[in-house]
Amino acid sequence: MKNYNQPNKKGEFGLFGGRYVPQQLTTRLAEIEKAYLELRNNPSFQKELQFLYKNYVGRPSLLYKADRLTEYCGGAKIYLKREDLNHTGAHKLNNTVGQALLARKLGKKKLIAETGAGQHGVAVATVTALMGMQCDIYMGKRDIINQKMNVYRMKLLGAKVVEVSEGQSTLKDAIDVALKNFITEENSYYMIGSVVGPHPYPMIVRDFQKIVGNEVKSQIKKQEGILPDYLVACIGGGSNAMGLFYEFIKDKEVKLVGVEPAGLGEKTDRHGLALMRGKPGIIHGFKCRVLQNKSGEIGESYSAASGLDYPGVGPEPSFLVETKRLEVVGVTDSEAVKAFCDLSRLEGIIPALESAHAISYAMKLAQRLKKEQVIVVNLSGRGDKDVENVFENLII
């Protein structure tokens, strides 16, 4: 991984990625790709992006040494990258401020987006207000019920939330409908929320999220004088994970661990283990490891954390697993709920249920490691949106 330079010009990460879409979309995506490639090296664009990261998102986010959590686990030091402290409470805004500048450059005033946990939807609605644009946000009916507070926030910010009741009424179905509407609404910009979708989205979203790992590298060098032994992040589509990992891919002494949702258990069929159990296939216009049934159709996914409930996963995490640079593990709903409560009580930090998957694994890992070793966990979001669901439905 010395000269890591992914994707290639066709948007392929080895076997994965690419652009498998109808002709009308190819032209629109090529237009977005061209504009992005021009913009990303433009100093005034970079200046505006850095200005927004600092003054609107609130970056750099803290790298916090969780002493009581570390002591409780009795092993390696656990650091939390506090993406939950960003404006709107998650890593998602890093991406939407960048894509909003891109949409503006393309002259688009209408944004179309999908959301699962509602965090990306809130981040889209926020930049819509910031830039004086308009947006339609597609959300599965099941997620609307589980993530009520984020639905209220999106509406307050001026977004139209469109309920999707097709299929399982979750993120996959919301993306299906959002993409269809993007095709018919020619003057819109599709703002994807993770490192998924057809080229160039996985590259664009990763580029806007890589600030997370860039900051961690200099923060941990200052605080510990070394690189971390492990980086741990939950994986839905893979954007908070790629954001944290990207800067460290070439540092082979740093181990990368992605945590997937094992839902009701790895031995059941109610999980979202796309990297661990998926096979190469196409979903939403790109190739990745994707859950499939016996006849090769897209399988159903499940997680109590709406933001992890997706049968596919980004092409770049798929590639990193295939090339053995990234290790993947599963954490169940109930293990995540336990970590949700542990972090709240030990550190006074209520994590998003998605992030609690990463916390849960980091706690197990810390116990196996030596006291001088260092784990950095991406605390991708805060848990306000999950408090009601955890209390009413998930705590046993």
Ligand X SMILES: Cc1ncc(COP(=O)(O)O)c(C=O)c1O
Residues that bind ligand X (CB under 6 A): 90, 116-117, 119-120, 194, 234-241, 307-308, 352, 354-355, 380-381
Chain centroid, CA 29 distance in Å: 21
Q: Which two structure tokens, joined as six digits, stand for 253?
A: 């002494």
Q: What region, left, alpha or beta, does residue 118 occupy, with left being phi > 0 and alpha being psi -120 to 50 degrees? A: left
Whether residue 114 lies in the annotated active site: yes
Of the pair 86, 219, the CB lying nearest ligand X is at 86
**Least CB distance to ligand X at residue 382 (A):** 8
Of the pair 120, 271, the CB lying nearest ligand X is at 120
Of the pair 119, 360, the CB lying nearest ligand X is at 119
H helices, E strands: number in the chain: 16, 14
Q: Which of 77, 81, 92, 108 is catalytic?
A: 92
Whether residue 380 lies in the annotated active site: yes
**Least CB distance to ligand X at residue 372 (A):** 29
Give the whole-angstrom CA distance, residue 293 versus residue 300.
8
**How many CB atoms neighbour CB 166 within 10 A?**
12
Classify 17 as helix, strand or coil: strand
- Which of these, 129, 185, 178, 122, lies nearest to 381 by C-alpha position? 122
Whether residue 92 lies in the annotated active site: yes
Of the pair 101, 235, the CB lying nearest ligand X is at 235
Of the pair 94, 292, the CB lying nearest ligand X is at 94
**How many CB atoms neighbour CB 26 within 10 A?**
14
**Least CB distance to ligand X at residue 149 (A):** 13
Q: Which of 172, 239, 380, 385 is catalytic?
A: 380
Q: Say whether the peptide bond before residue 311 is cis (omega within 30 degrees of 0).
A: no
Chain centroid, CA 385 distance in Å: 16
Residue 12 backbone dihedrals phi, psi, to 5 degrees: -100, 135
Q: Contact 232/378 with Cβ under 8 angstroms?
A: yes
Of the pair 188, 240, the CB lying nearest ligand X is at 240
Q: Which of 114, 215, 247, 354 is catalytic?
A: 114
**How many CB atoms neighbour CB 294 within 10 A?**
6
Segment 58-63 long-range contacts (CB within 8 Å, at least 24 positions apart): 58/85, 58/86, 58/87, 59/86, 59/94, 59/211, 59/215, 60/215, 60/219, 61/85, 61/86, 61/212, 61/215, 63/215, 63/216, 63/219, 63/220, 63/223, 63/376
Of the pair 75, 329, the CB lying nearest ligand X is at 329
Q: Contact 58/68 with Cβ under 8 angstroms?
A: no
**Least CB distance to ligand X at residue 194 (A):** 3
- Which of these, 66, 88, 85, lies nearest to 77 by C-alpha position? 66
**Least CB distance to ligand X at residue 27 (A):** 27
Catalytic residues: 92, 114, 380
